[in-house]
């Protein structure tokens, strides 16, 4: 089952948009561009709050190179 995580590899601020791009198999630059356009067009409040909520709700991607042994 596929899960949504904040990305460590495609992270600029908190990895939320990079994680969304990885989940939907999209280019992270396109996801970021669409987010910035929506952020500016809606005077920052709704999408800014959504991003902040996503930072808290979406867990960070686990490091697959770590061994639990």
pLDDT tens column, 37-62: 888 887 767 777 888 888 888 888 87
- pLDDT 10s digits, 2-31: 888 887 777 778 888 888 888 899 999 998
pTM passes above 0.85: no
How far is 38 from 35, CA to CA, in rounded Å?
5
Output the CA torsion 13→55→39→27 (10° steps): 60
Identify the residue with better confidence: 64 or 8: 8
């Amino acid at each position: 089952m596929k899960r949504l995580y904040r990305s460590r590899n495609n992270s600029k601020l908190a990895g939320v948009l990079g994680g969304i791009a990885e989940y939907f198999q999209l280019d992270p630059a396109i996801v970021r561009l669409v987010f910035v356009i929506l952020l500016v067009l809606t005077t920052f409040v709704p999408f800014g709050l959504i991003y902040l909520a996503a930072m808290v709700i979406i867990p960070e991607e686990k490091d697959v190179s770590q061994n639990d042994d």
